[in-house]
Structure 1
Amino acid sequence: MLLAALWVTGLLAYQLPGPGWLRGAAIVAWAGFAITTAVGVARARTGRWPGAAYMAALVACGVWWLLLVPRQDRVWADDVAQRLKVTRFDGRHVVLDNVRDFTWRNEDDHDVRWVRRQYDLEQLRSADLVMSYWMGPMIAHTLVSFGFADGRQLVFSLEIRKERGESFSALGGFFRKFEMTLVAAEETDIIRVRSNVRGEDVYLYRLQGMTREQLKGLFVSYLGEARKLDAAPAFYNTLTSNCTTIVYELAKQIAPGLPLDYRLLVSGYFAEYARDLGVLVPGVDFATLKARGRITERARAAGDAADFSRRIRQGMPGVEQGAVP
């Protein structure tokens, strides 16, 4: 009864329409009713009707939950306003529309630019795990940056699709508060905004041990996810559909035996999970990988330099030997 009462409380807090005072009043009324019913049950004094009313309320909330549907037509924040589109893909060459290439001066001052990009997957050379810490050591946003032979990088990031003026809530992510979107972006946008504008602490780790086909397979898996989210919206879930679990789910497509691990949920430790799987630079201890992979200061020093991607990788272990020939 307690778990059910807490779930309904969250549902009211994040899904009940109307002003804040109305949600507060509804939560207080529900809490009073749930506590009264629970005490009555515990003391074996409650009759048939309070218990039946409680169950009816749970069923009604369950139906409400099931009727919540994700949408594509809200007034979205600038940085998630467009959906990534796979315009053409023949197995080797891919054309992507709505790759993000913003110039950020601060959170509220930025140049909006969505561009078309073409890539030859035979030119894929590397993949880097990007960890951006925004709320202490346990929580990080996880991204993957793909490198090409001509020096270009493309970053994929699963994010909540915020409405204009909306901010992220980890608790709200349990209650279908947010849709999700897959962003593909230039590093000068999606990494730089985190390190240089939002003040997050960012780390890069070169992923190793993949064949060219596996590297291509991981990239193609992201294309599949982009197509799914373009065709039909989906809810973000803090536990099961977030920036870290998507990396795990896509990686499982090329390595089906990947084990489940608590670090898929405590995302700040996901790099250690990757280390234990043996996909980071071999022969270098994790403390060194982390220290040299911390790009925060290098990114801030690079600013809006044209060779931003090269500068942030200076001194990063595995950059030279990590490329797939």
Structure 2
Amino acid sequence: MTRSARRWRHSVMVVLAALVLALPACWGAATLWYQLPCATAVRIVGVALWAVLCLVLLVVAWRGQALVAASGFVVAFAALLLRWQAIAPSNDRAWADDVARGVTGTVDGDTVTLAGVRDFDWRAENDYAPRWETRRYDLAQLESTDLILSYWMGPAIAHTLVSFGFADGAHVVFSAEIRRERGEAFSTIGGFFKQFELVLIAADERDIVRLRTNVRGEDVYLYRVNMPKPAMQALFRAYVAEGNALAATPRFYNTVTTNCTTLIYHMMRSIVGNLPLDWRLLLSGHLDEYVYARGALDARYPLARLRAFGRIGDRARASDRGPEFSADIRRGIPELPH
């Protein structure tokens, strides 16, 4: 092999090695950025030092010491992985007020007692009167299950909530959310890097739905879900079990695998079975398409009509703090056929 060919092969091998190592190197930089418990300036320094180390090892490989460079990267990356594995979720942090309590419950036959039901009075996103209550529900009187999609990040991404309605007109909404610490803001990328724990919130509709429609100005849709009563009761009990499990064993939120949509999917799959995985479970803004295709929405109307019926923002703003908020936001949405 000529000298020129050897140089060419060497260059190609170094470039390929750099491409192979690029992903773990970027993962390491992101991990340091989101997990260094320091001020922003210190995190910048930490990421910069990691980047310098990776570049130095690349130069070492370029100079013909590929084994030394590879060994150095493996040692550094292994140390980072050990640190990553040691990061554990917790239920004991200085939480933001609206996620300070996760719901827990007890089940006695058809009577369910929920502790930590949120009923905040929101005047603005940072101006509210906090209130947490203990409420009891009779599953024998459970009459409806509604899917609520709240669009806050374009048409592909929506927050998923499930509302249960009872014969006396009461509703309770379950919502799996990130558990932010005080002063912390949501980050989609941070959700891949153990930045947030997962919390299950149970709330009054005038709290959690009105917050999204009237205070945040999100685009919110409500769909009546066609479920037999035993399945509705089983799903309610599954939410209670999930809340109790999170209270006993905290878990991290993950933007893709452990979020507001996947939680519902896994619970429903355990109840009804035969729910296929689908790209619309990841792009939750299209979840209504998935549910409609599974026959769980009102088949008398095309999905576009159901979306038009279920867009509740104007009705929510008109009702605002009214005592009939739950009934008001459902006006114009056809009842499911019996």
Post-superposition offset of 1:51: 1.8
Per-residue deviation at 1:24?
1.0
Aligned residues: 318
Q: CA deviation at 1:241?
A: 0.4
The CA deviation string for residues 36-93 of structure 1, in whole angstroms up to 9 with x for no partner, is 434654x57234332211101111111111100111111111101112121x311310
Quote how far apart the aligned CAs of 1:107 are.
Answer: 1.1
DSSP 3-state at the match of 1:253: helix
CA distance in 2, matches of 1:216, 1:47: 61
Q: Alignment partner for residue 55 of structure 1, among 61, 74, 94?
A: 74
2:135 corresponds to: 117
Partner of 1:155: 173
Q: Secondary structure at the match of 1:272?
A: helix
Equivalence map 1:86-97=2 (5 Å)? 86=105, 88-97=106-115
Structure 1 alignment gaps of length 5 or more: none
Query: What's the CA shift for 1:213?
Result: 0.8
- Between the aligned partners of 2:60 and 2:287, the Cα distance in structure 1 is 45
Are the counterparts in 1 of residues 102 and 202 from structure 2 also a CA contact under 8 Å? no
For 2:182 and 2:319, the matched residues in 1 are separated by 30
Q: Which amino acid letter does the alignment assign opposite residue 249 of structure 1?
A: H
Tell me, what secondary structure is at the counterpart of 1:126?
strand
Q: Is contact 1:131–1:204 with CA below 8 Å preserved after alignment?
A: yes
Q: Which residue identity does 1:236 align to in structure 2?
A: Y
TM-score, normalising length: structure 2:
0.91
**Which residue does the alignment assign to 1:23?**
43
User: Which of the numbers 213, 237, 260 marks the counterpart of 2:230?
Assistant: 213
Residues 1:237 and 2:254 aligned together: yes
Partner SS for 1:278:
coil
Aligned partner of 1:81 in structure 2 is: 100
What amino acid sits opposite 2:337 in the alignment?
Answer: Q
Matches within 5 A, 1:145-184: 145-184=163-202
2:266 equivalent in structure 1: 249
- Asked if the contact 1:298–1:311 (Cα under 8 Å) also holds between the matched residues in 2, the reply is yes
Q: How far apart, CA to CA, are the structure 2 residues paired with 1:69 and 1:81?
A: 19
Say if 1:283 and 1:38 are closer, same or farther in 2 by CA, change over 3 A: farther
Q: Indicate conservation of the 8 Å contact 1:204/1:295, yes or no.
A: yes
Partner residue, 1:4: 24
TM-score, normalised with respect to structure 1: 0.95
Q: Which has the higher helix share?
A: 2
Q: Is the 8 A contact 1:100 1:185 kept in 2?
A: yes
Task: Tell me the CA shift for residue 293 of structure 1.
Answer: 0.6
Q: Highest CA radius of gyration, 1 or 2?
A: 2
Q: What is the CA–CA distance in structure 1 between the aligned matches of 2:293 and 2:69, rounded to whole Å?
A: 53
Q: Distance in 1 between matches of 2:66 and 2:318?
A: 70
Aligned residue number for residue 123 of structure 2? 105
Q: Distance in 1 between matches of 2:178 and 2:336?
A: 34
Q: Does residue 34 of the first structure (1) align with residue 38 of the second (2)?
A: no
1:45 counterpart residue number: 64
State whether structure 2 residue 337 is matched by structure 1 residue 321: yes
> SS at the partner of 1:202?
strand
- Aligned mates of 2:241, 2:104 — CA distance in 1: 10
For 2:144 and 2:72, the matched residues in 1 are separated by 59
Secondary structure at 2:307 match in 1: helix
2:241 is the counterpart of 1:224: yes
CA distance in 2, matches of 1:8, 1:288: 47
Alpha carbons 1:146, 1:154 under 8 Å: kept: yes
**1:272 aligned to which of 289, 301, 309:** 289
Match of 2:325 among 308, 311, 318: 308
- In structure 2, relative to structure 1, the CA distance for the partners of 1:31 and 1:321 (3 Å cut) is same
Q: Is the 8 A contact 1:37 1:46 kept in 2?
A: no
Q: Which amino acid aligns with 2:30?
A: G
- The two structures, once aligned, show a CA RMSD in angstroms of 1.4
* 1:230 Cα deviation from its structure 2 partner: 1.1
Gapped regions of structure 2 (runs ≥ 5): 1-20
Q: Note if contact 1:142-1:267 (Cα within 8 Å) is conserved in structure 2.
A: yes
In 2, Cα distance between equivalents of 1:234 and 1:214: 26
